[in-house]
Amino acid sequence: MPNPDANRWNKRYLSECDFWSELNPSQLLIDYTHLLPSYGVALDAACGLGRNGLYLATQGLSVIYLDISEIALSHLMQRLKEMGLQPSVAVYDFSNLWLPTHYFDVIINFRFLDRNSFPVYRRSLKPGGILFFETFLKNNDDSPNPDYYLDLGELLREFKQFEVLYSEEKKITKIGENTQKWIAQLVARKPD
């Protein structure tokens, strides 16, 4: 039986691929590039067209790209080949996430939320590994499905054992829209 999330995202990428492929990497990632190791393995979780993972690859990291949309990953594989980078992509449903223990030097999670990923990310980062996390917050204006929105302070609570290098909850203009959304951002290092 087809996955409804996969169908929804495949349809969206079919109609919006050009828009998404032209986006720059997240400013959060750019601002904290100095924290990245010069080599190692990174995970781009729910990567879409891979704009943030591609940025990590240009910084010397080997990136594993996971997403539920085969359409997005197909476009990403083509782009990786054009850039001369080894494609390491997989269609993956994060509702049943499993990742190896102490494997990743960097994990990035942008604009995606599945709370089951929190303990998996904590376990899968190597000691000293860096987590970049940014996604939407609940607010009174527009939280149609609370499962996809963080509570205030939730990221800090979930990663309280980590060394917090940056954390903020703020309003931004949503990509491709003229609407304001609340987001939570976290950059944190797993203790040694």
Q: Are 90 and 77 in contact (CB under 8 A)?
A: no
- Tell me: pLDDT of 9 over 90: no
Sheet of 125-136: strands edge to edge? 89-91, 62-67, 41-45, 104-110, 125-136, 180-189, 163-173
Q: Report how far Cα 81 is from the mean position of its chain's Cα atoms.
A: 21
pLDDT in tens, 19-39: 666 778 999 999 999 999 999
| Radius of gyration over every alpha carbon of the chain, rounded to an integer in angstroms | 16
**Mean pLDDT across the stretch 94-107?**
94
Contacts with 1 (C-beta within 8 Å, 6 or more apart), sequence order = none
Cα–Cα distances in angstroms (integers) from residue 137 to residues 30, 111, 134, in the given order: 22, 10, 10
Q: How far is Cα 136 from Cα 76, in angstroms, rounded to an integer?
A: 24
Three-class secondary structure of residue 159 per DSSP: coil
Residue 126 is predicted with a pLDDT of 98
Higher local confidence (pLDDT), 84 or 130: 130
pLDDT in tens, 131-177: 999 998 887 555 567 777 888 899 999 999 999 999 999 887 766 66
Structural domains for the chain = 4-189 (3.40.50.150)
